[in-house]
Structure 1
Amino acid sequence: MSDRMRPIPIGKLLDGIFSEYFSSGAVFGVSPAFRGDPARAVPLPGGGAEVPLGSAAGPHTQLCQNIVAAYVGGARFFELKTVQTLDGEALHVEKPCILAEDEGCNVEWSTELTVPQALDEYVKAWFVLKILSRELGLGSEDGFLFNMSVGYDLAGIRSPKIDGFIEGLKNAAALPVWSDCMEAARALLPRLHNVDEAYLTTIDPRLCASVTLSTLHGCPPREIEAIASHLLTEKGLHTYVKLNPTLLGYEFCRETLDAMGYDYLVFDERHFLDDLQFEEAVPMLDRLMDLAAAQGRAFGVKLTNTFPVDIVRGELPGGEMYLSGKALYPLALALAERLGRVFSGSLPISFSGGADAFNVRALCAAGIRPVTVATTLLKPGGYQRLSQMAKLLSGLSCPDMVDPAAVTALAKAARTDAHYTKPAKPAAPRKLSAHVPLLDCFTAPCKGGCPIHQDIPEYIRLLGEGRQAEALRVILDRNPLPHITGSICAHPCAAKCTRAFYETPIRIREAKLAAAEGGWKTVLPEIRPLASRPDLKVAVVGGGPAGMAAAFFLARGGAAVTLFELREALGGVVRHIIPHFRISPEAVEADAELLTQLGVDIRLNTPAPLPEKLFDQGYTHIVLAVGAWSPGELPLEGSPAMNALDFLGRCRAWGALHRRPRRVAVIGGGNTAMDAARAAKRLPGVEEVSIIYRRTRRYMPADLEELELAAKVGVELKELLSPVSWHNGELTCSLLELGEYDASGRRIPVETGETVTIPADLVVAAVGERVDGETLAAYGVASEPRHGLPIVKAGTLESSAPNIYVAGDARRGPSTVVEAIADAAAVAEAILGASPVPHRPLPAGRRGEAMLKKGILQEPRSPRREYERCLECNTLCETCVGVCPNRANVAVVVPTRRMPQIVHIDGLCNECGNCAAFCPYDSAPYRDKFTVFGAAADFQQSSNDGFVLLDPIDRLVRVRLDGVTIDTTLMDEDSPLPSGIQELIETIVTDYSYLLY
C-alpha cells in the first residue's frame, strides 16, 4: 500500500460519475445534489458564484474527484491546493497527516502530486463540472470559480514549473489534458441528455483569473509584496494574500486560546517574532490595493493561514502541526476585525478559519466573501455539509464592502460561543473495543458503547414517531430500570454518538425518560413472566439497581424470586443517597412496580439469611447485590473528613448534622463529589462550597454536565490542591502544578513545595467507597487481596461459592447503574441458561431518510424530536466514506446483502488517517477494510485484505484474506472464497469497474 494517490483517468472518471449517478442518484457518495440559482450569483473577482462558498486549499481540492464531490455538495468557489517547486516524491509528508476529531490539526501543506499532475487534475475537474452543471441541471455552467493557490517565494513562483502551472490555468486550451477531456466527453455523449457536441465546443478553457498567495511563516514583508506585485502585474491575476494569525501577536493569541479552553496547546513566540508584523502589513496592503486598482485588478486578503503549535502528545508525527477549524475561528475573526477597522471595510476579505453552518451566513452578511472550508468537511457528513451552508447563503444579499461593526460583533461572540470554545473536559474515548469486520460493518456506536447494548436508534425512532409505548417496550427488553437510567444514567452511549462530531450527542437519556413516562400506563399492565421455571428459586440479596435488575430478569424468565432489602425501600444508593434534585423517589418507585407486576417477593427491612439457610429453604441460587458501602480512606492530619455517602444521607434530614457549617470543602473529582457539593449548597446557613481536586477540571472523572451544574449553583472548584490536614476550621493543602505528559496524554501533577489554607467548617471526602469484604466472606465468596473485589467467573459472574453470584458495585466497586444492569443480565442468563432479552422485531430504518440527515448541523431538540438529529447509524454508517476527502472509501451495493459494503480503493488513498479518527471501531478503514488494488505490484506491496483483477477477460483475481493469498476465477463454482467476499468482488468487477483503474 502506497501513500501516494494516483489520479483517475478522465474517461474512468466520467464513466464512474454517471454510472453512479444513474444507478443511485449520488456522485462520489454525495447525495442529494445542491442546485444553484444562476439568477442570484454573487460577484467575485474573476466572475460570479451561485453561492460565495467553497472548499479551501487543502485535502478537498487536491484531486479531481474531491472538487467534483464538493461541487455536488454545494461548493461554487474552489481554492485549489497550493503548489510549490517542491512536489511529488520530493515532498515528504509524514503520515498520518490529518487529525480533525475536534479542532483540526495537520502536518501537510502543499499538493502531494507533482505540479503537472496537479494542473491536469484541475483541468479535468473544470471540464467535469462544466458537464455536470449542464447535464444534471445543478446550476449555470458559469456559476462557479476556480482560484489557484501558489507559494512560497518569488523565485519559485517565477520558475518554469510554477509559471507553466499559472499559465496553464489561465488558459488550458493548448494542454494535452484538454484534448483528453474533450475526447472522453465525446465518447460519453450517447449516455447524456443535455450535453451535445455543440456545448462541448463552448467550454471555456480559461480556468482561473484569480490567485491566492500562500507564504511560509517567516517570509519577509518585501518578499510577500514582491510576489503579490508579480501576480498582479506580470500575471494579470486578481490576487488574495493569505495572512497568518501571528499578526495578532503572541499575547493576544495565548490569552484568547487560553480563555476559550485551548490552554493545552503549546506554542512559543518564535513564529510571532519571525512573521510579518501588523504595523508592517498595513502599509504593504495599502500599496498593493493601489497597485491593483492601477492594473484594473482586485486585491484582498485571505484569513487566515493555519496556526503552528507544538506536537507534545504524539497526536501526529513530527514536532509541529498546524491548527485549523474551530480553534482558528476566533483568531481569524479577530484579525478580520482589526483589518476591517483600519481599512474602514474597504479591504476585501476572503475567509477560511473555522467556518461552518453555524457561522457562514453571518460571515457573508458582514461582507466577508468568499468563504472556504476544510476542517468541517473532514468530519462525518463530509462534503454533504456544504449543502446546508450553500442553502443558508442562497439568495443572501451580501454588502459590497466589509462591515466593521458586524465583524466586531462576530469576533466578540466567537470567544464565548460554545460551538468554538473547548469543553472544560476532553471527550471520552469514542472508539468501540471491537475490530471492524470486512463485511457488514455498519454499526450504531451508541449501542456498542452501552454496557447493556440498548437498541437506542430504534427507540429514538419510535419515540420520534409518537409511539412511546412501543419505544418503552424496546427499552424494557434490555433495561428494567427505565426511569432510573432515564434520570441519572452516566450515558456512556452518548460518548460514542457520531452526532458529537457535528455539535452535541443525541440526548439519549432524556429520550429514554420521555419514553418511560409517556408509555408507562400502557406498558406496565402488560409486564408478565415470559416462561415458567419451577426448577429455579432465586434469592437476591440487596435492593439497589443491581438487585432490582437481577430480580426483574430472573422473574421475567420464569424463576421464583425473593428480594431481600435491609432498608425500608428499594433503590440502594439511588434512593437513599443521590439527592432528590437529581432523581425523585417516584422514579425509583415506578421501576420497583415492575418487580411487583412480575410477582417478585419483595421483603423490605429484612436481612437475608446466610447461604446455608437459604439453600435449606429451597433456594437454588443466590445473587449478591449488596453494593459498595464501606467508606474510602482519606488520610488527613487532625480531624477526619466526613464520608460523602454519610453526608448525602444526612442532608436529607438536616437535623442529623450535629452542627451547621458555613463553609464546606468537598474533596474529590467524581460525580459523588458534585452531588455532595450541590447538596451542601442547598443547606441553610452554608455560604461557601469548594471542591478540592489534585488535577485540573480537564482531568476530573465527573461528567461535564455535573461539573457545569455545580458551577452554576456557585460551587467553586479549587484545582491542583492535595489535602494534608484539617485543624480548627482550616484545611491545609499542598499546592501542585502540572508537569510532563504521561503515557495517557495527561499532565502529571507535581509538588511545588508550597501550601494553601482554605477555611472549612466541614470537610467531606468523596474519594470512593469499597466493597464490604465481611459480607462477601459471610457468603463464602473469596476476594482478591489488592482491592477486596470478589473473584468471579468471567461471563457468568459466579463466585468461588457454587451457585452464588455477585453483581453491581459488590462486584466492581463503585460503578454505574447501567453497569449494574449489565451484571444482572449476565447473572440471569447464567442462571436461566438462556438470554434474558426477548426476541422482538425492531423497526427497520430507512436509508434514504438517514442519508438526508448526513452533513446537517442542528441544535438539540426536545427529547421527542431527537429522532430528527439521530443519524440512525444502525441503518447507515458510511462514516469513513464521508470523511475521506479523496473518496478512497466507497459504499458498494451488493444485491444479496442488506446494506452496502465498504471497500477501500488503494490508488486513491494517501494515508492521511482521517478515516481512522472517525471509524467507530478500534480500526483504521484504510488499513482494515477490504481493499481494491489497481495493479498486482500494489497488491504485493500491501498487507491489506483485498483483491486485484489480474485478467478482465477470464475474470482472474488475486485475493488476500487473513494473510493467505488465493488466485481464482470468478466463474469458478468451487471457488475457495467465502460467499460474501465472492459476491462483493463479482459486484465490483461487474458494476463498479471504474474503481479498477
Structure 2
Amino acid sequence: MSDIMRPISIEALLEWILEEYKRNGTIFGVRKFFQADPNKKISLFGEEMETPVGPAAGPHTQLAQNIIAAYLTGSRFFEVKTVQIIDGENLPVEKPCINARDEAYNVEWSTELRVPDAFEEYAKAWFVLKLLSRELNLGSPDGFIFNMSVGYDLKGIKSEKVQNYIDSMQDASKQPVWEECMTAAKKLLPRFTRINEKYLASISPRVSHSITLSTLHGCPADEIEKIASHLIHEKHLNTFIKCNPTLLGYDYARKVVDELGYDYMSFDDHHFTEDLQFEDAVPMIQRLQALADDEQVSFGVKITNTFPVEIKQNELPGDEMYMSGRSLFPLSIAVAKKLSDAFHGKLQISYSGGADVFNVKDIFEAGIWPITFATTLLKPGAYQRITQIANVVSTLDYPTHVQLKLDKLTELVKKANEQALYQKSVKLPVTPKIAEKLPLLDCYTAPCRGTGGCPINQDVPAYLRYVSEGKYLDALQVIVDKNPLPFITGTICAHPCETKCTRQFYEGAIDIRGVKLEAAEHAYDELLATMEKPTPVKDAPKTAVVGGGPAGISAGYLLAREGMPVTVFDKADEPGGVCTQIVPEFRLSAQSVKNDVGLAKFMGAEFKNGQAAPSLDELHKQGYENVVYAIGAWRHNNLRLTKGSAINSLEFLKANRENTEINPYGENIVVVGGGNTAMDCARAAKRLPGVKQVSLVYRRNKRNMPADEEELIFAMDDGVNFLELLSPISLENNELTCEIMELGERDASGRRAPKGTGKFQKVAADTVISAVGEKIDTEFYQSIGIETDEKGYVKSNPMTLETNLPKTYVIGDANRGPATIVEAIADATKAANNICGEVNGEVHNKNFETDNQNINLAEPRAKRGNLITPDCDTTQAGRCLECSTVCESCVDVCPNRANIVVNVNGNPQIMHIDRMCNECGNCETFCPYSSAPYKDKFTLFNSKEDFNNSTNQGFYVIDAAKKECLVRYDHQEKTIRLTETIVDIPNGLLDLMETVIDDYSYCLAD
C-alpha cells in the first residue's frame, strides 16, 4: 500500500457526515458527542472556547476528519499540525512513524500534506465545525479556536508558500476552498435542520489569528526571536513559542529520567548545549512579551516541544526519535515551573507533554491553559478520551486572566517525580500480542484468552462479566470448565492473560487472577452443592497419574469429570506438590490447595498419598492401561563457589514451610538468583526470627531478572536488599565475595548479557541460598524407556503428550521444563482429552464463549475511552472492555479514521480505507494479533491507481450501479460483478463489498 493520504473533498466530507449520522448516529466512528455547557467560556486571543482542551499539533490535527472527531468528543482548542517549507512527498518521514505502546515515540514532526492542501484541510474542518456545532446543538459556533503551528526557521517561514498559508488562515474568503465549502453546504442545505443560507453567510473565514512557533532542536536564540518578532510585528499574530525540556539542562533531565525507571533511554548532552539556554530564554521572552504588548496581541510559551532520544532497539526506523507521553510529563511540568518562577506567575503557558485525564485537573488549576493532547489519544479509546478530559475541566472554575499558582506547580513537579503513574515498571513489558494472524473477517478477540494469553483458553471476559454482575456461581462454572484449580491459579498463577489485557493501555491491566479468586471464594460451596457426580464410563480403562502437584490434580479432575477411573499417586502425605511443600504459606494457604483437591475428589478422582507410586510395570499389572507422569522439576542446579557452599532453595523452602519459627541460618542471609523461587526464598527468610538482613544477589539488574514484576515488588516491599550486577565467587568467614558485573548487549532471550569488570565486592553472609533454577529428573524417564531430547526433556506427541511408550504420557515440567501452573493444566488437558477421546470420541466442552452471549454492543463500546481515575468506584471485573464482543482497537487508535466498522448482515466487520492512511503504524501497535490492520484487513481503494500501488487484499468499486469491482484476494486479481455467482472468494467478503456499496456508499466518494 501507499502512505500517501488523499484528502476528502468538502462535498464528500459533508455527505459522509450526514449519511453516517443518519444511518448509525455516529460520525467518523465517534459514538458519543460532547455537549458543551453554554455558561462556560474561557477567553484567549480575543476569542472564546468552551473547553480549553484539544489535540496538539500532530496526528490528530492533520486531516479534516481528525479535527472533526476531536471536536465531537469535546475539544475546543485545536493546535493544527505544523507546516513548513519542506512538505508533501519531499518530507522525509520514515514509516512506521509512531510507537505509542507505553511512553510514545515518533519520527514525524509536520504535516505530510503539501502546505496548500494542509490549509484546505484546516479550512474545511473549520467550516464543518461551524455547521455541526449548530446542527447538533453541541455548543456555540464561536466556542472553539484554531491555532496555527509553523516551523522551523525564518527563511522557510518567510517563503511564499508558508506566508500564503499564514495569510489564508487569517482570511480564507478569497481561497477556492472557501467557495467550495459554501457551494457544497448550499447544495446539501435541505438535509440540515438548523442551518440556513443566512447562517452560512455568517460563518467567519478567519480560521485562525494565532500561531505556535515550533523550532527544531538546535535553533539558536536569535533565530527564534527573529521568527517570533516577524509573527508578532509583521503578521500581527497572537504568538506562542515552543520551549523544550532541554531548558532544564542535561544533568537534571538524565537524573529524572533514570530515577523514574527510563534509564534505558539513550541521549547525550548535545541537544542541551545546542538548544536555547535558559539564561537566554528569559530575556528573550521578556522582549517578545513587550513587543506583543506594543502590538496589542497575546504572547506566551508552549510547553513542550518533543524530547529527542536515540533509537537503540529498533523502536522506529532511523537514528533519532522524539519521546512523549507519561515519561515526558515530569520534564515538561518542570519546564513550566522553572519559567513560571522566572516570570512570577505572569507568563501565559499553553501546555502539552504527557497531559491526560489523570493530571489535567492539576495542570489547569495551576493556571496553565490551553492544554493539548497527543499520546493519550493514540491509545485505545483515542478521541473518546477527550470527552472524559473535557468533562473534568468543564466542572472547574475558568479564570479570567493569566495567573499561575506557583505553589501548585511546585506540588505538581513533586508529584510527577514520585507518583507511580509516571514511573516505568520494574520489568519491561512483554509483547501484548497473541500469536495468531489477523483474519480478514470476524477478527474480534479477547487477547487475554488467545495464544500467549491463557494457555487453557479460559473465557476470561465471560467470568469477568459474571463477577461484575454479582453472579459468582456462573463465573466459577465458567472457570472450572477449563480450570480445575481456581484457588491455586486465583492466588499464584503467573497470569499471562494480564500481559495481553487491552486495559493495560488505559490505566493498567485488570487483576484477572484476583477476580478468579473472588469468584472461587464466593461460590465454592454453592458450586459443590450444585455439581453432579459424573456418570462412570462403562468398561473405561483405568488411568494412573504419578505426581500429585498441580499437573496431577488437574489430570485427575479432568479425567474423573468424564467418568474415567483415575488414581493420583504421590509420595507426599498431602497432595499439592510445590503448592503444599514449597510455596510459602503467606503466598498460598493450605486451605486453598485443599479446596482444589476437593473438586477433583468430588468428581471421583482417587488420591493415594504417603508412598512412592508403583513402577510402570507394576502399574500395568495393577490394571492401569494409561499412565500419566506429572512429576515436577525437583532437581536443583548447583551454585558453584570456589570456596564454601550454598544450600538448595527447594530444601530451604520445604524446611521453612514445615516450621517458620526455626532459624539455623544466621542473621545475614544471601539468596542468589533472580527468579520467582529466589523471591520466595528471600521473602521467607525475611520472616525468620533473628534475621537482620536478607540480600538478593543477581548478576543482572532488576529489569533483567526473570522473576515476575509483582514478585519483585513484593520482595522490595518486604525489605529485601537487592544487590544487582554481582556474580558470586566464594564464601568464607561469613562473607560472600562477588565480582561486579556490567550489562552488555542483549542475548538471545532479549536480556542484556552480564560481563565481568574485574572488580569485587564482599557481602555479609552467614548462609547462602542457591536459587538458580530447577531441572527435571531426566535419568528417571530414560530408565523406564521414555525418550528424551538433547535438553533432557521428554519427547512426546505435541498434540497429545503421549510418549514413545504407548498410552504413557508426560505433562508439566518434564514436557516443558520448569513450567507455570496454568501450563501444567494445559498439558493435563491435552493428555486427558486424548485418553477420553480414545474411549468415547468426544471431550467435555461447554460453551461459555462470550461471543455467543446476547450482549448489547453499546454496553462494552460505552467503556472505551473511559479511564478509571482514583475517584471511580469501578470494580476490577467491571473494568473489562469485553474485547471478544467488541474489539475495534484499530478503529479507535487510527487518527485518520482509516479503519471503520461495517455492519454486514448484523455482524460488525473491520474494513481499512487506503486513501485515509499514512501508514503511521499505530493500529499495528494496538491490534491484539501479530499483524498490522493497515496491511492485513480487507481494504477499500478509491482509485484504480491506489489499488495498483498496493499489495493489500481489497477492492476498488469500478461501477457501483452494476456492483462491478476490481478485487485482490489470495494473491489473485480479478474483475467481478457482485450480482453474479462467484465461487473463489468467500461469501463474507462478497457480502462486505456489497454492503459497502449499498449502505456505506459515502466511503466511495472523492
Specify the SS of the correspondent of 1:105: strand
Is 1:502 the counterpart of 2:510? The answer is no
Shift of residue 983 of structure 1?
0.2
Aligned to 2:987: 979
Shift of residue 863 of structure 1?
11
State the distance in 2 between where 1:438 and 1:658 align. Answer: 62
Shift of residue 867 of structure 1?
3.0
The list of structure 1 runs, each at least 4 consecutive aligned residues, that deviate by more than 6 angstroms after superposition, is 655-658, 860-864
Q: Does structure 2 conserve the Cα–Cα contact (< 8 Å) formed by 1:511 and 1:863?
A: no
Specify the SS of the correspondent of 2:209: strand
State the distance in 1 between where 2:344 and 2:236 align. Answer: 27
1:445-594 aligned within 5 A: 445-448=447-450, 449-534=453-538, 535-594=540-599
The match for 2:927 among 916, 919, 924 is 919
State the distance in 1 between where 2:928 and 2:76 align. Answer: 32
1:804-953 aligned within 5 A: 804-833=808-837, 834-840=842-848, 842=850, 843-859=853-869, 865-897=875-907, 900-953=908-961
1:773-784 aligned within 5 A: 773-784=778-789
Shift of residue 46 of structure 1?
3.7
State the distance in 2 between where 1:386 and 1:589 align. Answer: 49
State the distance in 2 between where 1:818 and 1:717 align. Answer: 29
Is 1:704 the counterpart of 2:706? The answer is no
Shift of residue 654 of structure 1?
4.4
Shift of residue 813 of structure 1?
2.1
Q: Does structure 2 conserve the Cα–Cα contact (< 8 Å) formed by 1:247 and 1:335?
A: yes
Specify the SS of the correspondent of 2:210: strand
Aligned to 1:968: 976
Specify the SS of the correspondent of 1:408: helix
CA distance change for structure 1 residues 9 and 973 in 2, over 3 Å: closer, same or farther? same
State the distance in 1 between where 2:992 and 2:536 align. Answer: 46
Q: Does structure 1 conserve the Cα–Cα contact (< 8 Å) formed by 2:462 and 2:849?
A: no
Shift of residue 606 of structure 1?
2.9
Specify the SS of the correspondent of 1:893: strand
CA distance change for structure 1 residues 359 and 217 in 2, over 3 Å: closer, same or farther? same
| Greater mean alpha carbon deviation, residues 655-664 or residues 253-262 | 655-664
Shift of residue 659 of structure 1?
2.6
Shift of residue 525 of structure 1?
2.5
State the distance in 2 between where 1:857 and 1:336 align. Answer: 26
Q: Does structure 1 conserve the Cα–Cα contact (< 8 Å) formed by 2:41 and 2:48?
A: yes
Aligned to 1:629: 634
1:759-774 aligned within 5 A: 759-774=764-779
Q: Does structure 2 conserve the Cα–Cα contact (< 8 Å) formed by 1:487 and 1:509?
A: yes
Unaligned runs of 5+ in 1: none
| Greater mean alpha carbon deviation, residues 563-572 or residues 967-976 | 967-976
Shift of residue 557 of structure 1?
1.0
State the distance in 2 between where 1:862 and 1:128 align. Answer: 35
CA distance change for structure 1 residues 212 and 655 in 2, over 3 Å: closer, same or farther? closer
Aligned to 1:173: 173
Output the amino acid matched with 2:325: G
Output the amino acid matched with 1:770: K
Shift of residue 748 of structure 1?
2.7
Q: How many residues align?
A: 994
Shift of residue 293 of structure 1?
1.1
Shift of residue 742 of structure 1?
4.7
Shift of residue 529 of structure 1?
4.8
Output the amino acid matched with 1:121: E
With the length of structure 1 as denominator, give the TM-score of the two structures: 0.98
Shift of residue 740 of structure 1?
3.1
Q: Does structure 1 conserve the Cα–Cα contact (< 8 Å) formed by 2:637 and 2:772?
A: yes
State the distance in 2 between where 1:913 and 1:744 align. Answer: 26
Shift of residue 386 of structure 1?
0.4
1:290-333 Cα distance to aligned partner (Å, 9 max, x none):
11111111100000000111111111111100111111101110
Aligned to 2:190: 190
Q: Does structure 2 conserve the Cα–Cα contact (< 8 Å) formed by 1:541 and 1:608?
A: yes
Specify the SS of the correspondent of 1:327: coil
| Greater mean alpha carbon deviation, residues 774-783 or residues 344-353 | 774-783
Aligned to 1:618: 623
Specify the SS of the correspondent of 2:350: strand
CA distance change for structure 1 residues 986 and 757 in 2, over 3 Å: closer, same or farther? same
The match for 1:748 among 753, 757, 772 is 753
CA distance change for structure 1 residues 859 and 394 in 2, over 3 Å: closer, same or farther? closer
| Greater mean alpha carbon deviation, residues 605-614 or residues 118-127 | 605-614
Shift of residue 640 of structure 1?
2.1
Q: Does structure 2 conserve the Cα–Cα contact (< 8 Å) formed by 1:135 and 1:194?
A: yes
Aligned to 1:443: 445
Specify the SS of the correspondent of 2:188: helix
1:358-437 aligned within 5 A: 358-399=358-399, 400=401, 401-437=403-439
Aligned to 2:20: 20
| Greater mean alpha carbon deviation, residues 190-199 or residues 978-987 | 190-199
| Greater mean alpha carbon deviation, residues 397-406 or residues 581-590 | 397-406
Q: Does structure 2 conserve the Cα–Cα contact (< 8 Å) formed by 1:38 and 1:143?
A: no
Specify the SS of the correspondent of 1:736: strand
| Greater mean alpha carbon deviation, residues 43-52 or residues 655-664 | 655-664
1:317-362 Cα distance to aligned partner (Å, 9 max, x none):
1110011111110111001111111111100001000000000111
State the distance in 2 between where 1:805 and 1:733 align. Answer: 43
State the distance in 2 between where 1:192 and 1:913 align. Answer: 37
Aligned to 2:90: 90
State the distance in 2 between where 1:409 and 1:625 align. Answer: 56
CA distance change for structure 1 residues 652 and 391 in 2, over 3 Å: closer, same or farther? same
Shift of residue 743 of structure 1?
6.3
State the distance in 2 between where 1:978 and 1:655 align. Answer: 64
Output the amino acid matched with 1:161: K
State the distance in 1 between where 2:827 and 2:855 align. Answer: 30
Specify the SS of the correspondent of 2:618: helix
Shift of residue 875 of structure 1?
0.8
Shift of residue 452 of structure 1?
0.6
Output the amino acid matched with 2:491: S
State the distance in 2 between where 1:863 and 1:626 align. Answer: 44
State the distance in 1 between where 2:845 and 2:534 align. Answer: 10
Q: Does structure 2 conserve the Cα–Cα contact (< 8 Å) formed by 1:511 and 1:864?
A: no
Specify the SS of the correspondent of 1:874: coil
Shift of residue 428 of structure 1?
1.5
CA distance change for structure 1 residues 896 and 395 in 2, over 3 Å: closer, same or farther? closer
Q: Does structure 2 conserve the Cα–Cα contact (< 8 Å) formed by 1:506 and 1:860?
A: no
Shift of residue 395 of structure 1?
3.4
| Greater mean alpha carbon deviation, residues 380-389 or residues 731-740 | 731-740
State the distance in 1 between where 2:328 and 2:747 align. Answer: 27
Q: Does structure 1 conserve the Cα–Cα contact (< 8 Å) formed by 2:462 and 2:848?
A: no
What is the root-mean-square deviation of aligned Cα atoms in Å?
1.6
Q: Does structure 1 conserve the Cα–Cα contact (< 8 Å) formed by 2:682 and 2:696?
A: yes
1:386-430 Cα distance to aligned partner (Å, 9 max, x none):
010000011311343111111111011101111111111111211
Specify the SS of the correspondent of 1:462: helix
Output the amino acid matched with 1:4: I
Q: Does structure 2 conserve the Cα–Cα contact (< 8 Å) formed by 1:447 and 1:493?
A: yes
With the length of structure 2 as denominator, give the TM-score of the two structures: 0.97
State the distance in 1 between where 2:603 and 2:874 align. Answer: 29
Specify the SS of the correspondent of 1:621: strand
Specify the SS of the correspondent of 2:392: helix
Q: Does structure 2 conserve the Cα–Cα contact (< 8 Å) formed by 1:464 and 1:864?
A: no
State the distance in 2 between where 1:321 and 1:538 align. Answer: 60
Specify the SS of the correspondent of 2:39: helix
Unaligned runs of 5+ in 2: none
Aligned to 2:653: 648
Output the amino acid matched with 2:654: G
Q: Does structure 2 conserve the Cα–Cα contact (< 8 Å) formed by 1:671 and 1:701?
A: yes
State the distance in 2 between where 1:100 and 1:604 align. Answer: 53
State the distance in 2 between where 1:188 and 1:975 align. Answer: 41
